[in-house]
Amino acid sequence: MFSDIWYEAKLEILDDQGRPLAVDMTYRAEDLDYGQIFGVKKGDHPVGISVPQDSRAYYIERDGFYYFYAQNVNSEEYDKDSVQVQYKNTSSFSLRVGGGVAFPGSFTYSQYVPEKIKNDYERFEHYLIGEPSADVSDQMGALIGWIAGSAKGYGPFTPPVPTKLVDREEVHGEEPFTYFINFKVPECQQADYYQSLILTDPVPEPLHVDQVKVYDADNQTDVSSYFSIQTSEGTGNQVRVSVRDPSTDWMYGRTFEIRIQVHKREDYTFGSSNIVSNQASLAVDQNSPKKSKTVRTSFYYQITTEAENGSITASNLKVPAGGSMRISYAPLTGYYLKYITVDQKVIDKNQHLLDYSFTKVNADHHIKAVYEKNPVVTITKEVTGKWEDFGTPVFLFQITGTDYNGVRRTYYESLEMPEQFQTGQIYRKSFTMKIPAGMWTVREIPVSRYALTGIREVENGEVEGEKVILDTKDHDTAKATFCNTLTNYSEFSHNDVEINFFGKQVGR
């Protein structure tokens, strides 16, 4: 049994210039009684059709329409006999209404339709385009009036879809930041008010919740008192925000913003990834929750660097949490590495002469390299005797020892005395060496005509026989004077040092 009497109406929305105006629309057919039939054209592509789960309305598809109807029902429970249709970004849609299959014999238009419905129909009539497929009787007029009078308000087709944003996509360590979750509660008739509205946010494990507040997003008013706010503790926090009383009209048509302030837990250690992500979900009544887009936040730490008398990798470097960073450093010319500190603690510089690597970074760090001038070793030659023009006296010194890095080193230095001096005259001449800090043993290589008579004027060192041990590891300078006297002359040349060069041929 199906109606063959239809009235088809097309509703169009135009702007003030008469051009189609595409908007999101919701249409409600309320209280289907006594065989009334409501048809929705499939070609208009509705994005949502909602019938209450315990509805007494029936559904069928035929000749390009979705039809909803009820038989022999006369009920005041409007929400159980209602159908709602939602359109997305459209400027027009078509509806059909019909009936007659189950009307009681005593039914008349004047008996069934209250005065308000008649008035609504008169206001709605000029929006209808086209002609009815049959003469408009009192009965058909009742149906059109019913549709016109019921086309009002917005129904809860699906839960609102929340949007989630974060005020910072990159966060430094434990600094606090805020998630913003927005959703709009659609306008709704009282019969369609929600029984519950609950938003949940599974805060990622690395984060701790500091504060949760709810605002009316349109006027930025704190409305937290209208909501029950719970934060559960566990491996990670979970925020649950629910409306205390959804049966009042204060929230319908409003947009809300939930602000969740969080910070990284101090005891959490990032591993292979420094990114946290999550999404909020909003559930209305028993419907499946609607989820926001996933929000991602990355974490970093900073390494500050400092160098005295040298260069070092730039300061305030951002290191992804859990990541690694290599810091390089070098001295100015003539300087050596005295010590390195990491987070104000001295480390073994011999293990990190040129660089230091931070690994599994889960905190800010500071590194400082301190360089000192290479210490100066001063060796003085003091001789007595008579200088004759038979060559230039040349003296050779060997300096051996271990530098501050534990490296064994040997140096040679020669000293010439071309100046003339007389018998019994004391003549002095010095040379300096800028060598790494360390413990150095200095001895004079013996020559044939000058005899070593002693080592004196020692500064920061000790004499051991015919050599002196100088300490520049803990001192910036060290000195010693080697004293000689001319013992055998015999008119031979003073030149006592011969330099020979040897070559080596490498076979192919």
Q: What is the 3-state secondary structure (H, E, C) of 182-240?
A: EEECCCCCHHHCCCCEEEEEECCCCEEEEEEEEEECCCCEECHHHEEEEEECCCCCEEE
* Of 418 and 102, the one with more pLDDT: 418
Residue 503 has pLDDT above 70, yes or no: no
* 144: DSSP letter: H
Residue 109 has pLDDT above 70, yes or no: no
pTM: 0.57
In CATH, the architecture of 163-293 is Sandwich (2.60)
The position carrying tokens 């001895």 is 443
Total Cβ atoms within 10 A of residue 366: 14
* Lowest-confidence pick of 118-132, 157-171, 270-284, 422-436: 118-132
Would you place residue 171 in the very low, low, confident or very high pLDDT band (cuts 50, 70, 90)?
very high
Contact status, residue 251 vs residue 185, Cβ threshold 8 Å: yes
* Lowest-confidence pick of 27-31, 134-138, 183-187, 274-278: 134-138
pLDDT of residue 259: 96
Total Cβ atoms within 10 A of residue 298: 16
Q: In the chain, where are the structural domains located? A: 6-150, 163-293, 300-373, 376-486
Would you place residue 11 in the very low, low, confident or very high pLDDT band (cuts 50, 70, 90)?
confident
Could you tell me which of 202, 203, 323 has the C-alpha nearest to residue 263? Answer: 203
CB-count exposure of residue 210 (10 Å: 0-12, 13-18, 19+):
middle
Tokens at residue 102, please?
A: 């189950």
Burial profile 269-293: b = 16 or more Cβ within 10 angstroms, e = fewer: ebeeebebebebbbbbeeeeebebe
The position carrying tokens 């065989």 is 35
pLDDT of residue 100: 43
The position carrying tokens 């041929």 is 505
pLDDT of residue 40: 87
* Lowest-confidence pick of 185-194, 208-217, 387-396, 432-441: 387-396
Contact status, residue 227 vs residue 241, Cβ threshold 8 Å: yes
pLDDT of residue 79: 57
Measured distance CA(358)–CA(213) in Å, rounded: 39
* 386: DSSP letter: -
Q: What stretch of H or E contains 122? A: helix 115-124
Total Cβ atoms within 10 A of residue 178: 15
Pick 376-486's CATH classification: 2.60.120, 2.60.40, 3.30.1380, 3.50.50.
2.60.40
Would you place residue 35 in the very low, low, confident or very high pLDDT band (cuts 50, 70, 90)?
low
402-411 confidence digits (pLDDT tens): 987 788 999 9
Residue 390 has pLDDT above 70, yes or no: no
Q: What stretch of H or E contains 296? A: strand 295-308
Tokens at residue 126, please?
A: 């000029």
Q: What angle do CA 441, 447, 452 make, to 5 degrees?
A: 60
* Lowest-confidence pick of 140-149, 189-198, 364-373, 484-493: 140-149
Would you place residue 248 in the very low, low, confident or very high pLDDT band (cuts 50, 70, 90)?
confident
What average pLDDT does range 277-296 have in this prediction?
91
Q: What is the mean pLDDT of the chain?
A: 80
* Lowest-confidence pick of 136-145, 152-161, 313-322, 470-479: 136-145
Within 8 A by CB and 6+ apart from 232, the residues are 238, 240
* Of 108 and 39, the one with more pLDDT: 39
Tokens at residue 133, please?
A: 């497929």
Measured distance CA(387)–CA(422) in Å, rounded: 6
Residue 364 has pLDDT above 50, yes or no: yes
The position carrying tokens 């990798």 is 313
CA atoms within 13 A on the CB side of 88: 6
Would you place residue 97 in the very low, low, confident or very high pLDDT band (cuts 50, 70, 90)?
confident
H helices of 48-133, in order, are: 109-112, 115-124
The position carrying tokens 């805060």 is 203
What average pLDDT does range 286-311 have in this prediction?
93
Would you place residue 206 in the very low, low, confident or very high pLDDT band (cuts 50, 70, 90)?
very high
One fold for 163-293 and 376-486:
yes
Angle of helix 115-124 relative to helix 138-150, nearest 10 degrees, comes to 80
Share of the chain above pLDDT 90, in %: 41
Tokens at residue 135, please?
A: 């003469």
